[in-house]
Amino acid sequence: MADFDVIVIGAGPAGYVAAIRATQLGLKTACVEKWIDASNKPVYGGTCLNVGCIPSKALLDSSHKFAEASHDFDVHGIKVSKVGIDVPAMIARKEKVVKQLTGGIAGLFRANKVEGISGTGKLLKDKQVEVTDHEGKTSVYSADNVILAAGSVPIEIPPTPLDHNVIVDSTGALEFQEVPKRLGVIGAGVIGLELGSVWARLGAEVVVLEAVDAFLPMIDQQITKEAKKIFTKQGLDIRLGAKVIGSALKKGKAKGVTVTYKDSEGEKKEDFDKLIVCVGRRPLSDKLLADDTGVEINERGFVTVDDHCATGVPGVYAVGDLVRGPMLAHKGSEEGVMVAEIIAGQKASMNYDLVPSVIYTHPEIAAVGKTEEQLKAEGIEYNTGVFPFAASGRALAANDSDGMVKMLADAKTDRVLGCHIIGPSAADLAQTVVVAMEFSSSAEDIGMTVFSHPALCEAVHEAALAVNGHAIHIANRKKR
C-alpha cells in the first residue's frame, strides 16, 4: 500500500493549492518543499510568495506611495515639506508581508491535514518520490498519484554572469539596501518593467535594454503604445532593439558595471551602479526526474502534458510553471485544483483561453482574450469599443486618469472576444470581464448591466457600450 494517495512536489501556488484541494476531497496528501527560512524552518509559497509576486508588489506599493507623496499631493492641496525614503525599512516591511503569508500557508496545511515534507523532491520510477533533506539525508515515499509543481527560476545569460551584488536577477533586485543612482535592467517584460518602476519611483535613473524591436509584443498594440508613452514620462528610458553582448564589473574603488550592447547604430556602452537581469524564467525541471520515470521533458525544459495536465505516465501530473502556457501563479493554482479533482474522480477542466494577465506597473496593464492583432491575423471580423479614463469621473477625482479600456467583440454575434486595459485598478476591472466572458457574454450584455457610480468600473461599461456605438460619456466612433 502506498504511503500517500497524492504527493505534490513543490509548494508554490500550483503545488500548495493542489495539496489542499486534494485533502478536501478526502485524499491523504503530502507536499514536498525545499524552501527554508533563516532559522532553517520550512517555508511554503514557492517563488510567488517568497521572491516573486508578493514581495515585488509590496515594493511596488511602497514606492508608489513615495512617488505620490513626492509629486502628486500638491494637486490635492496637501503640502509636504520633504519626503524621504528609508530603504531598509521598506525592505523589512516587505519581509513582514512575506512572513505573514507563508506562515498562513503552513496554517492552512495544518488545518487541512496536508503533511509537509521538507527537502528536495525527485520523482523515481513507479511513482516513488525521493526526498533529500537539507543535511543530505534521503527518504523515499510511495504514492498512488504524483503532482509535479516545482516551479521555475530566472534565466541567466552568458553576457551578464550574476555576482549577486552588482549584477543580480529578480530575486536580488528585491534586496537592495539603497537606491542605486543609475540602474540597468535587461528585459522590458513584466518583471523588468515592474522592478524598474520600483527603483525609478525612488529616484534611480533607470535604463531598460530590450533585445527585440517591439515593446510588449504579446499585448494589444494600442495599449502598448500608451504604456510606453506613460512609462517614458515616468522616467523609464526604454531602449528597444538593444541586445546586450557583454559586461564588466568595475575594479578597485570604482563600483558598478559597464554593459556593452548593440543596436541599429552599432556597439554602445553604459555604466550602471546595479544591473538587473530580467530576460524570463525557465521551468525547474532539471534534477526533478530520474531517467527511468517515463515522463517526457521537451527541449525547453517543460514537462509534456495534455489539456488536463496529465503526463504520459498514469498517475503522474505536472502543473504551473513546469508546463506549457503562461508562467502565472493563478494559472498554476487553477491547474492544481483541476488535477486534484481529476484524481478524486471528478470531471474537471480549465478554460485556458480566459487566463488573465497583469503587469503591476502604475498604471496597471491587464488583458484577457484576443488582441486586435490576433483577430486580424485569424481573419475574424470584430468591433472595437474604447473608453479613456480621462472621461471617468472617479478617475479624475482620484487624479489617476491615464489609460483606457478597450473591448473587442465578434462583429456578427457581439460575443466579447477580448478586453485590454491600461489604467487604475486594471487587474480588478479586467476580472469582471473574465467572468462575463466565461459565460459567453456579449458586449450588449455588459452594456445592459447596471454599474455603480461613480466608480472606475464604469469605464468597462462604457467600453462595452462603445462596441456598438452606444457610449454615453464619449463621442462614438463609427463601427468597423
Q: What pairing do the DSSP bridges indicate for beta strands 266-272 and 257-263?
A: antiparallel
Q: What is the DSSP string of 15-31?
A: HHHHHHHHHHTT--EEE
Half-sphere exposure of 202 (CA within 13 A, CB side): 24
- Are 273 and 293 contained in the same domain? no
Residue 236 lies in a domain: yes
Inter-CA distances, 248 with 157, 174, 180, 186, Å = 14, 22, 18, 15
Residue 215 lies in a domain: yes
- C-alpha cell, 26: 478526502
CB 276 within 8 A of CB 200: no
pLDDT attached to residue 253: 81
Structural domain of 238 = 167-279
- Are 380 and 256 contained in the same domain? no
Q: What is the CA radius of gyration of the chain?
A: 24
Residue 474 lies in a domain: no
Distance CA 348, CA 117 (A): 27
- Label residue 329 by pLDDT band (50, 70, 90): very high
Last residue of a domain, one of 306, 325, 353: 353
Long-range contacts of 34-41 (CB under 8 A, 24+ apart): 34/118, 34/119, 34/120, 34/121, 34/134, 35/11, 36/118, 36/134, 37/99, 40/134
- Are 178 and 238 contained in the same domain? yes
Distance CA 17, CA 123 (A): 20
- C-alpha cell, 79: 503640502
What letter would DSSP give residue 363?
S
Instruction: Give yes or no for residue 479 having a pLDDT over 80.
Output: no
We report the CATH number of the domain holding residue 287 as 3.50.50.60
pLDDT digits (tens, 9 = 90+) for 208-225: 999 999 999 999 999 999
- Are 375 and 423 contained in the same domain? yes
pLDDT attached to residue 189: 97
pLDDT digits (tens, 9 = 90+) for 40-57: 889 999 999 999 999 999
- Are 332 and 247 contained in the same domain? no
Sign of the CA dihedral 7, 38, 101, 171?
negative
Average of pLDDT values for 154-181?
Answer: 97
Residue 107 has a CB neighbour count (10 Å cut-off) of 10
Residue 435 lies in a domain: yes
- Label residue 478 by pLDDT band (50, 70, 90): low
Average of pLDDT values for 92-101?
Answer: 96
CA 59 distance to own-chain centroid: 15
pLDDT attached to residue 199: 98
Average of pLDDT values for 375-381?
Answer: 98
pLDDT attached to residue 260: 98
pTM attached to this predicted model? 0.96
Residue 14 lies in a domain: yes
- Are 247 and 193 contained in the same domain? yes
Instruction: Give yes or no for residue 58 having a pLDDT over 90.
Output: yes
Residue 405 has a CB neighbour count (10 Å cut-off) of 31
pLDDT digits (tens, 9 = 90+) for 427-450: 999 999 999 999 999 999 999 999
We report the CATH number of the domain holding residue 387 as 3.30.390.30
pLDDT attached to residue 80: 92
Round the average pLDDT of the chain to a whole number and report it.
97
pLDDT attached to residue 477: 78
Last residue of a domain, one of 305, 324, 353: 353
- Are 273 and 291 contained in the same domain? no
**Set 330, 453, 470, 473: catalytic member:** 453
Residue 387 lies in a domain: yes
pLDDT attached to residue 124: 98
CA 219 distance to own-chain centroid: 14
pLDDT digits (tens, 9 = 90+) for 103-157: 999 999 999 999 999 999 999 999 999 999 999 999 999 999 999 999 999 999 9
Helix-helix angle 458-467:426-438, to 10 degrees: 50
pLDDT attached to residue 252: 82
Last residue of a domain, one of 353, 387, 409: 353
Burial, 82: exposed, middle or buried (Cβ in 10 Å; 0-12, 13-18, 19+)? exposed
Residue 479 lies in a domain: no
- Are 270 and 385 contained in the same domain? no
**3-class state of residue 331 by DSSP:** helix
- Are 298 and 443 contained in the same domain? no
Q: What pairing do the DSSP bridges indicate for beta strands 357-359 and 205-210?
A: unpaired
Residue 458 lies in a domain: yes
Instruction: Give yes or no for residue 254 having a pLDDT over 90.
Output: no
**3-class state of residue 472 by DSSP:** coil
pLDDT digits (tens, 9 = 90+) for 181-210: 999 999 999 999 999 999 999 999 999 999
- Are 56 and 125 contained in the same domain? yes
CB 116 within 8 A of CB 44: yes
What are phi and psi for residue 211, nearest 5 degrees?
-65, -35
Average of pLDDT values for 404-427?
Answer: 98
* Residue spans of alpha helices (H) in 237-283: none
- Are 289 and 275 contained in the same domain? no
- The one-letter amino acid at 178: E
Q: Has 453 been annotated as catalytic?
A: yes
Please, which residues bridge with residue 201 across strands?
A: none
- Are 262 and 327 contained in the same domain? no
* Cis amide linkage into residue 217, ω under 30° from 0: no
Question: What is the number of structural domains in the chain?
Answer: 3
Q: State percent of the chain over pLDDT 90.
A: 96
- C-alpha cell, 238: 526604454
Please, which residues bridge with residue 34 across strands?
A: none
